[in-house]
A and B are shown apart, each in its own frame.
Chain A
């Protein structure tokens, strides 16, 4: 399938903002998602954005979509140690029957 790329690792200090980036190649992507996975757990849906939107904000989370550059980012404001986890970017499109196509995940480490 088409590629979804993420950087593998990000380290931030508690209280700072975190920005996790994702690029995708399929221009027909319909929805783009951010999921969080803590050790030994399943995937928690954080937020998603429809492809005709540029931005979505939900409390501490801000999603930015640059459709021209096929770039998606997740900003976490006032990052806490409890935010340490793996964050997955995923996209779906009608051509794949809306199956989620995931990136490899970005491991976020928040240090005190």
Chain B
């Protein structure tokens, strides 16, 4: 059974640009959550999608957005990139969003 797949693995972007990250959950899982990991702030929750609906959102500015498709694949978008957005972005999939969450390898975003 394939795990959670995130693409791309690495990205370098310039301040002011926007970026889209992709996450394919484990087959059958309907919940996808996104987390940002930085050395200073640790792991922080961005948002969670279940059956194409955002159910929960963390404390991040509106520049961070996401969506989920009918096949449960999810994308997150960050607009007007800032240097502080440099981080490892992790996606987690879960059957129902309440129990075991399995993480992908992450996308390492560097903003220069």
Contact = CB atoms under 8 A, between A and B. Distances in A.
Interface of A: 30-31, 33, 35, 41-45, 48, 88, 90, 92, 96-105
Contacts of A48: 99-100
Given A43-B90, A48-B100, A100 B35 contact: yes
A64 B90 CA distance: 27
Given A99-B48, A99-B58, A102-B42, A42 B101 contact: no
Contact of A97 (B55, B100, B106): B55
B1 interface: no
A100 B42 contact: no
A44 B103 contact: yes
Interface string B76-112: 0000000000000010100001111111111000000
A110 to B, nearest CB: 23
Given A42-B106, A45-B100, A45-B102, A99 B90 contact: no
A99 B33 contact: yes
A74 to B, nearest CB: 16
B64 interface: no
B42 A105 contact: yes
A30 B48 CA distance: 18
Interface string B1-20: 00010100000000000000
Given A41-B105, A105-B42, A100 B100 contact: no
